[in-house]
Structure 1
Amino acid sequence: MRIGLLTEGGYPYLNGEARLWCDRLVRGLGQHEFDVYALSRSKRQENEGWPPLPPQVRAVRTVPLWRTEDDGPALGRRARRRFTEHYGDLATVLTTPTLDVSASQADRFASALYGLADLARDTGGLPTALRSETAVRTLERACRAPGARRTVRAARVPDLLAVAARLERALRPLSLDWYEDDALGAVDLCHAASGGPAALPGLLARHFTGVPLLVTEYGVRLRAHHLTSGAGDTAPAVRALLAAYQGRLAAEVYRQAACVTPGNGHARRWQERCGADRAKLRTVYPGLDATPFAEVGEAPHSGDPRTLVWVGQVEPAKDLVSLLHAFAEVRKAEPRTRLRVIGTSTANTAYLTHCKTLAAHLFPDEAEGRHAVGDNPVAFEETGDFPSLADAYASGAVSVLSSVVEGFPVGLVEAMLCGRATVSTDVGAVVEVIGGTGLVVPPRNPRALAEACVALLRDAGRRARLGAAARARALELFTVEQNIAAFHGIYLDIVSHSPVRRVVLGATGEPLPFAVPAEAHLPGRWTDRKARATPTWAPGPPVRATATEGAR
């Protein structure tokens, strides 16, 4: 079958969220054909280019979210009236109190969104209108109207300008030319690799052509928005309006999707709270390539039995401060213990410096005592210092995760594949991933973290049993093979419940009845190429569209 893979800031670019997952999915499903529709996040991302793509990728179309390719046409009087009506309905829904989650409000949001999409299709795009004074004034009227939330009533002109600019960026997919019969209208299934902007083109493809939509979220986009839109210098009214848009969009995506695949139970609960129907939800764990960890995982433990290992991206959410305080307690019980903090090359430099300063304060060099001068028990290293990532995990006896915020803990699964006993904080999907094969403690509790580490350091037999159980669990649930098999089954299930929508035209331009058989969803040619009509789905040479070709 032909899949329209929708991404934002990821595949096919060299960096970005879910890039590796998408690449493994496409390569693993070689029996299907993929058209990639990608929204890029930055000029740097575009300049880094794409990796070599497998032959099953027929075409790639990209468009930037970080800038506008074309202002689009100016709207006439009638079109401006339509725009004001639909944009006004959208703004009214966003200013409605969040407790009002009635079906009527959901329908009004959907009607406004699709109304703007229809207008964009009729006029050639809405970038100019979305940045216009009309948009700002419409937002202002909605914020000042009776019944609007108290937070948004206080919105000032700079706040309204900021919201209008952010909404223009969020609504750019409305103006794309991706929804024609020779684009997303020709695929059997749209698969959005995340919620938010990536899912919006799939939502519109369903609206225009009836293509079924599958949404995968390993990190719920609405949750990510709330975590990254902290107070800072952003006005409360701006945060409230943008959060309302993200929440309404997520609810509409979940409502219209044929299937939603959260990456874990933590994400699933978020989706249910945002209105997702339980009957549409199917948990599919991320798939990791277990091969690089096989040698370490199957070999007898060779790491230092007195060493704790932390591997990950150095940032405040990982709470290395609590880990260092916990290690100070560990040293009191086991004075010869060492800690290796192994970060990636993308570390938060300021936070890393803070952690190094704290470590120097907690463990000052001593001429006499637990360690020699210049021999601090805490070592800060990078993954590049080791022959492989598996060797980093293998350098110690116990792997520690100290995060206060976590979605799906990939680093924890990597440690499990290496057969390491683990101590983790109870955040995100940690408990679901561990499944009883490691120790879990409350977050921001250095004493509990220290006690769990000491318990494993003192019991080599228990470490071995937990490590073996953890590796067996990871191989059963979290490998690329199980991930690909799950999505292959989901693809077939969705397509089997979706009608064949393609219309084949004859020489006179009239539809040919019964020209597309039911088995047209399967790869291959089901009509004679010499016939007077050729189905639009017939395979052809790969096509690459430039960024400028993705917008009207």
Structure 2
Amino acid sequence: MRIALLTESGALDASGETRPWCDRLVRGLTGHEFEIYTLARGPEGAPYRGRTVRTAPLYGELPAPLMWRPERRRARARGRLARRRFAACFADLVAGFVTVRAPGARAAEEAGGGAFPGASAGAGEERREDQADRFAAGLHGLAELARAQGRLPGLLRSEQAVRLLEAACRAPGAPRAAHGARVADLLAVTEELERALRPLSLDWYGDAPGSAYAFGAGDVPAGGGLAAVDLCHAATGGPAALPGLLAKRFFGTPLLLTEYGVRLREHYLARAGARLSAPVRSLLGAFETALAAETYAQAALVVPGTAHTRRWQERCGADRERLRTIHPGMDAGGFTAVPDAVADHSTTLVWTGTVEPAKDLVCLLHAFARVHRAEPAATLRIVGAPGTGPEDAAYLAHCRALAAQLFPDEAADACSAGDNPVSFEEIGGPEAPRPQDAYAAGAVLVLSSVAEGFPRSLVEAMLSGRATVSTDVGAVCEVIGGTGLVVPPRNPRALADACLALLRDPGRRARLGAAARARALELFTVEQNVAAFRGIYLELMSRTPCRPAVGAPLGQGGAPRLFARPAEAHVPGRWAAVRGTGQPAPPTGRTPSWADPGPDPDGDGARRVDPPPAESERLPTTSPARPQPAEAATARPQPAQPAAAGTAAGADRQRGARP
């Protein structure tokens, strides 16, 4: 099966699982042929080294198409028609997400802090469906325009697009924030729309003759592009899923969508902290919500990574019957169960992860102050580096200062050096060269986050057989499943009480750690993840109707003619020779001369395929025939002997000579 894996490098991902998961999927399902298509948000190199990757930038400018002078004159003549067609399609697209909120917009508004004010509460479900249909019509209309003329990037940044967007913002039913949009806001929104819709103008589809960004008439790129794949698998939502939507629209290719993080929620949270005006946040949020609803509606199956993500997808319009939850897989080979006695101290708490405000280390430090007062021998190890955000380094410095204030260095006696019970370390240091070493050096792992996607550090601790104390956020309860203690977020007292309960009960720690490791090995391994996707692929192919390949003959009614191309045409390698000519055979994928379809005498669309000549017609008689018994008159059917492509014996059998 040929699978197009649609990815986006540099995209938001709460779990950080998308890129390694894609690589493990490609390496694990060796029985399928993967073609990787990546949208790059920055000038970083393409992932998946050693594999064929098609990369398209979501930054900078697309290269201008090269045209001869006669083509330029024809392009000017088509320009007026293209602008009129663009105006109609872009007006439908904008009206589909500006005038009325798409399904699930209220959930996005709650996550974005009210950045998406909506339409009147009396808007009915029928009107919502009508607006969704209008958004889809505009989106596919722009895709058709891009395939036909390739002028979409320039038109999306034109003055015409700005005026159409302004008219939609001033129309009745538009969000209140959009009514006050200025020219700078409209320019910023059209620029973001051009980047988000850039996949419509790419040359990944391989069947668009006449397109300025596609291949010439009659040409098909190496591998056939998305027109020749059996399944499009989008590893995330947003612009990365757009090529899959177009492949389904143009070629009937089924689309599979996987989301290990709530993409829409992540966009709203990111834009809430960015320095954007209210009209820009409102319009971009409405567009992303409508695009997510259209993707969920068109996908054959939607695969969330957690039940938390699944609930968001349902609120955004995904059909519950087409949802399959598959947990992310992690490599459990490097993690072994560490007995509690191996830990340096039975009163050590460990926190691991990326230091950022969402991890709420301030709450953890205040909770440990209570633990330290009750158990003076308790220590806390914070193992992690600051994130890439502009405020993450300052947050780490603030946590260090708070730890120094809450826990001044104290010595056991007058002859000992003072020490702080809280230490800040990084993975790779002398104390914790690997994550496994950090988990082995503590008795209890603590997670104090206020926002969490898929908690990787929690799963790693479970694989190490460690008892855990976590806050009830994201998919924590789904991952823990009763093998650890869960407390409310932003509650230092509850967090401290749970930590003390486990530190004072070694037997309970051991039981919870063993149960946690068994649960992690059952649900969160790479083998489980790969096997689940193998079943998903087979399920989709089993219910997908037969599609003609690129250039395949069709029968009556436009349906593919079964057995029009014999199986011999797909034998890998090259045929040694064509029967009766002595000439080299055509390359792989071409039908041998003796297997070419014959005429259609009945006119029913089923052509006759002449069988190869009989053995008596092909083999010369070199010795007198001996008398045969009467039983030989009825010859038994002999099993066919397939010839290996490229071997001398196989070539002789194809020419009709004896080996």
TM-score when normalising by structure 2 = 0.75
- Which residue does the alignment assign to 2:216? none
Displacement after TM superposition at 1:114 (Å): 0.4
Contact 2:18 2:235 (8 Å CA) reproduced: yes
Distance 1:20 1:514, change over 3 A: same
- C-alpha distance in structure 2 between counterparts of 1:370 and 1:331, whole Å: 21
Distance 1:372 1:5, change over 3 A: farther
Query: Higher mean Cα deviation, 366-375 or 254-263?
Result: 366-375
Displacement after TM superposition at 1:180 (Å): 2.1
> Which letter does structure 2 place at the counterpart of 1:62?
T
- Which residue does the alignment assign to 1:412? 458
Distance 1:481 1:371, change over 3 A: farther
Distance 1:10 1:146, change over 3 A: closer
- Which residue does the alignment assign to 1:292? 334
> Which letter does structure 2 place at the counterpart of 1:19?
R
- C-alpha distance in structure 2 between counterparts of 1:256 and 1:381, whole Å: 47
- C-alpha distance in structure 1 between counterparts of 2:571 and 2:549, whole Å: 16
The question of 1:439 aligning with 2:485 is answered yes
- Which residue does the alignment assign to 1:258? 300
- Which residue does the alignment assign to 2:178? 152
- For 1:78, which of 56, 59, 81 is the aligned residue? 81
- Which residue does the alignment assign to 1:32? 32
Distance 1:180 1:360, change over 3 A: same
Distance 1:366 1:528, change over 3 A: closer
The question of 1:6 aligning with 2:6 is answered yes
Contact 2:340 2:346 (8 Å CA) reproduced: no
Distance 1:463 1:207, change over 3 A: same
Distance 1:299 1:528, change over 3 A: farther
- Which residue does the alignment assign to 2:262? 220
Unaligned runs of at least 5 residues, structure 2 = 66-74, 102-118, 208-223, 579-584, 592-659
1:12-66 C-alpha deviation (Å, 9 max, x unpaired): xxx97511111111111011110000011211x22xx54544xxx5x31101112
Contact 1:287 1:479 (8 Å CA) reproduced: yes
- Which residue does the alignment assign to 2:562? 514
Contact 1:297 1:417 (8 Å CA) reproduced: no
Distance 1:112 1:536, change over 3 A: farther
1:338-377 C-alpha deviation (Å, 9 max, x unpaired): 1000004746311111111111111122467999754111
Contact 2:356 2:386 (8 Å CA) reproduced: no
- For 2:62, which of 43, 57, 69 is the aligned residue? 69
> Which letter does structure 2 place at the counterpart of 1:24?
R
Contact 1:93 1:108 (8 Å CA) reproduced: yes
Contact 1:401 1:423 (8 Å CA) reproduced: yes
- Which residue does the alignment assign to 2:526? 480
Contact 2:354 2:385 (8 Å CA) reproduced: yes
- Which residue does the alignment assign to 2:189? 163
- Which residue does the alignment assign to 1:94? 97
Counting only pairs closer than 5 Å after superposition, residues 498-513 of structure 1 correspond to structure 2 as 498-503=544-549, 505=551, 513=561
- For 2:358, which of 305, 312, 317 is the aligned residue? 317
- Which residue does the alignment assign to 2:381? 340
- C-alpha distance in structure 2 between counterparts of 1:527 and 1:318, whole Å: 56
- Which residue does the alignment assign to 1:542? none
Displacement after TM superposition at 1:70 (Å): 2.0
Counting only pairs closer than 5 Å after superposition, residues 125-136 of structure 1 correspond to structure 2 as 125-136=151-162
Contact 2:350 2:439 (8 Å CA) reproduced: yes
1:426-470 C-alpha deviation (Å, 9 max, x unpaired): 000000000000000001111111110011011100000000000
- For 2:404, which of 345, 360, 365 is the aligned residue? 360
Contact 1:96 1:148 (8 Å CA) reproduced: yes
- Which residue does the alignment assign to 1:543? none
1:84-111 C-alpha deviation (Å, 9 max, x unpaired): 1111111122222326562111111100
- C-alpha distance in structure 2 between counterparts of 1:304 and 1:197, whole Å: 49
- C-alpha distance in structure 1 between counterparts of 2:272 and 2:79, whole Å: 39
Distance 1:151 1:371, change over 3 A: farther
Distance 1:272 1:16, change over 3 A: closer
- C-alpha distance in structure 1 between counterparts of 2:199 and 2:241, whole Å: 10
- C-alpha distance in structure 2 between counterparts of 1:371 and 1:326, whole Å: 30
Query: Higher mean Cα deviation, 342-351 or 106-115?
Result: 342-351
Contact 1:71 1:128 (8 Å CA) reproduced: no
Counting only pairs closer than 5 Å after superposition, residues 227-306 of structure 1 correspond to structure 2 as 227-294=269-336, 296-297=337-338, 301-306=342-347
Contact 2:161 2:190 (8 Å CA) reproduced: yes
Which secondary structure does the structure 2 equivalent of 1:292 belong to?
coil
> Which letter does structure 1 place at the counterpart of 2:465?
G
Which secondary structure does the structure 1 equivalent of 2:272 belong to?
coil
- C-alpha distance in structure 1 between counterparts of 2:441 and 2:415, whole Å: 20
Contact 1:186 1:536 (8 Å CA) reproduced: no
Query: Higher mean Cα deviation, 528-537 or 486-495?
Result: 528-537
RMSD between superposed Cα atoms in Å: 3.0
Percentage of pairs with the same residue: 60
Distance 1:176 1:470, change over 3 A: same
- Which residue does the alignment assign to 2:497? 451
- Which residue does the alignment assign to 2:538? 492
Distance 1:233 1:387, change over 3 A: closer
- C-alpha distance in structure 2 between counterparts of 1:156 and 1:449, whole Å: 48
Query: Higher mean Cα deviation, 73-82 or 269-278?
Result: 73-82
Unaligned runs of at least 5 residues, structure 1 = 538-552
Distance 1:256 1:517, change over 3 A: farther
> Which letter does structure 2 place at the counterpart of 1:254?
Y
- C-alpha distance in structure 1 between counterparts of 2:276 and 2:549, whole Å: 50
